[in-house]
A and B are shown apart, each in its own frame.
Chain A
């Protein structure tokens, strides 16, 4: 069974601070995805990383895929209250199936 360990589970920071969320697996995934979920809504895809060592930027969010394609990280620079939410990493498997990490609940205080 392919598992994804996500850390930390909870993160409470002040506006303007930087943070990093980690996603680690003992198995290789063909690609990893990061989702953001707000209360009462479904997850929304932020990014897909495919190549080992790949780095993708989405405004203040930087996503990295490990060289061995077993781990990924999400770094947010100068966090804002609007970044508050649940962040989920997910490994893509055959037929589009996803294996999710447990999620990181991020709270950014003004």
Chain B
């Protein structure tokens, strides 16, 4: 099915563990993004990618790593999870203006 999918939908991990959130889109959009959504802060940009092999930091990149070896995939890795990274993470893709969001991954770091 066409669209943007995230996995897993829910994840509980321990402090210090590495965890990877997956994002896959079928539109061949050039741009992909990772946002986190927290109460009182709205959605904040973590990383974005303008094309395969091109990534750049957003507003809150510390503690996160991304890669984009293929246009359709944009995984987000927390190298050593901390409690402050407990959040809902949204992946999005765009052709330049209209953005389409995945359903989100609710991550809890205990």
Taking beta carbons and an 8 Å cutoff, which residues of A are in contact with B? Answer: 6, 31, 33, 40-45, 48, 88, 90, 92, 95-103
Contact = CB atoms under 8 A, between A and B. Distances in A.
Interface string B25-38: 00000010101000
A32 B45 CA distance: 16
Q: Which interface class (under 10, 10 to 19, 20 to 34, 35 or more) fits B?
A: 20 to 34
Interface in B63-110: 90, 92, 94-104
B101 A95 contact: no
Contacts of A101: 42
Contacts of B97: 31, 48, 92, 96
A94 to B, nearest CB: 9
Interface of A is mostly: strand
Contact of A96 (B33, B35, B41): B33
B58 interface: yes
Given A95-B48, A96-B94, A41 B40 contact: no
B42 A100 contact: yes
Given A42-B101, A97-B58, 14 more contacts: A31-B97, A33-B99, A40-B103, A41-B104, A43-B43, A44-B101, A45-B98, A48-B98, A95-B31, A96-B33, A96-B97, A97-B33, A97-B48, A101-B42
